[in-house]
Amino acid sequence: MTVTPREKVKVGIIGAGPGGLAAAINFLRIPFVDLSVFDQATELREVGAGISINENTWRHLRLLGAADKIEQYTKRGDSSKIDGEHRNGLTGELLSRRFQSADPNAPPRSRIERYKLQRALLSQIPEDLIQLSKKVTRIQDTTQGVTVTFTDGSTAGPFDLVIGADGIRSVVRQHAFPDHRLSYTGKVAYRVIIPAEKVAHVKNIPSGSTFWHTTKTHVYTDPLDNGLFEIATRAIESEEHGNKVSWGQKVPKSQVVHHYDGYCETIRQIIAAPDEWLEFAMFGGPRLESVIHNDRIALLGDASHPLSGAFGSGAAFAFEDALILARAIEYTYARNQTIGEALKLYDEIRSPHYKGLYSVLNGHADTAREVAAISPALSENELIAESLSRNFKSSNDWIYKYDVTKVWDERIKEEETKHNLAGMSSESSGKKEPATATVPHVAVSA
């Protein structure tokens, strides 16, 4: 049997955040891919905030070969130690508490500075792969493939596949889905990581990560385990903050402190500690039913679903996307199918999962409306407790335990069964199946 040599599949990744880097690692492992990665940044660095590494994030970091580059990977949980709490932000009252998971084979949920995650992923990628200072401004679909144009006037492509991993304000999404709109949520996140000694004088700081709730905003505090302390808040701010599209912008303490005047003493003291903060205007948008376009463009991570940091697991969602997209390309290539078919497989596997995530968020919004409508009206403290207890009635553990590799295996089993049945029926009807139904991955050439 002679094997027909095939051209490489040209893949361009736009964006080198956690999602783009995970895609790069996965695609570098595919021998028939010719990979290019572009980012608008002049250097790759994360803005100073913390990120949660949950059970599924660790699993993916292992698959990406990057887990042991993060020092917390060697840790093991202690089930007698508090992992996280929810408290009433006004009174400090404890509303719920969970303990660390003590799996002897895996690290517990950890909170790390985001640049460490970035650095761990970068350790798996050749240094010269990522082309920096390349801000994509225009995307063109041509019969030869997809071409991208940068602000410096240069172009790249044509690509057989362009992956939009360019974050919440994705240019690739704008090109593929021009009607999709992001809007300012009316809230900003104020975030900071400070030396723990700056809050050492504050009494009653919980030892684990803690959400301090009111009905409209919350404060998140986390004593990180390297002498640092993280504070991440939500505050209601005017449209003007949304118009500025602030992202990681430094703001003075005076802009932040007054939002938390009504909170309990512990929180007021914690909020007063940093001298300056970083502001992140929160944007969100409706769920896209499909995140693929024209058989040649796929979105992943925050570009595909602007969840605004909900669930504290956006990096893991992006890792799941990247893995499935790469597997779909490999699987269909081996069967001489089109890139369009690979993207369809990707979409069919990922979309139901995101649908589930959005329905949790919609459920929370429904809860807020329902408790606000209870008659006679509840006090603020009762509202906080009631909202939380309703939201926690159904566990969100499925999000953090979701194993996308199992989902992939099951889906492929179904594909194989379908394929075998189709083969049997064409044999019995005497019909010969065509080698490829449509245009293959790339033009098959000698």
Ligand X SMILES: Cc1cc2nc3c(=O)[nH]c(=O)nc-3n(C[C@H](O)[C@H](O)[C@H](O)COP(=O)(O)OP(=O)(O)OC[C@H]3O[C@@H](n4cnc5c(N)ncnc54)[C@H](O)[C@@H]3O)c2cc1C
What are the angstrom distances between the C-alpha of 96 and each of 87, 209, 366, 399? 7, 12, 21, 19
What are the angstrom distances between the C-alpha of 170 and each of 161, 165, 180, 285, 323? 16, 8, 11, 12, 20
Of 165, 231, 256, 322, the one binding ligand X (CB under 6 A) is 165
Alpha helices in 113-219 (DSSP H): 114-122, 171-176
Of 280, 333, 354, 408, the one binding ligand X (CB under 6 A) is 280
How big is the site for ligand X, counted in residues (CB under 6 A)? 34
Q: Counting contacts by CB under 6 A, is residue 18 touching ligand X?
A: yes
Output 40 or 338, the one with its CB closest to ligand X: 40
Q: Counting contacts by CB under 6 A, is residue 135 touching ligand X?
A: yes
Of 13, 121, 136, 342, the one binding ligand X (CB under 6 A) is 136
Q: Counting contacts by CB under 6 A, is residue 233 touching ligand X?
A: no
CB of 293 to ligand X, least distance (A): 16
Alpha helices in 128-225 (DSSP H): 171-176
Rounded Cα–Cα distance for residues 365 and 283 (Å): 16
Of 24, 161, 288, 315, the one binding ligand X (CB under 6 A) is 315
Q: Counting contacts by CB under 6 A, is residue 107 touching ligand X?
A: no
Q: Counting contacts by CB under 6 A, is residue 38 touching ligand X?
A: yes
CB of 270 to ligand X, least distance (A): 18
Contact 276, 252 (CB under 8 A): yes
Of 52, 56, 72, 88, the one binding ligand X (CB under 6 A) is 52
Report the amino acid identity of residue 121. L
Q: Counting contacts by CB under 6 A, is residue 312 touching ligand X?
A: yes
The 8 Å CB, 24+ separation contacts for 141-144 are: 141/294, 141/296, 141/297
Provide CB contacts within 8 A for 48, sequence distance 6+. 113, 114, 115, 191, 192, 193, 248, 278
Q: Counting contacts by CB under 6 A, is residue 223 touching ligand X?
A: no
Contact 130, 412 (CB under 8 A): no
Q: Counting contacts by CB under 6 A, is residue 16 touching ligand X?
A: yes
Residues that bind ligand X (CB under 6 A): 14-20, 38-41, 51-52, 134-136, 165-168, 171, 189, 280, 301-303, 308-309, 312-316, 318
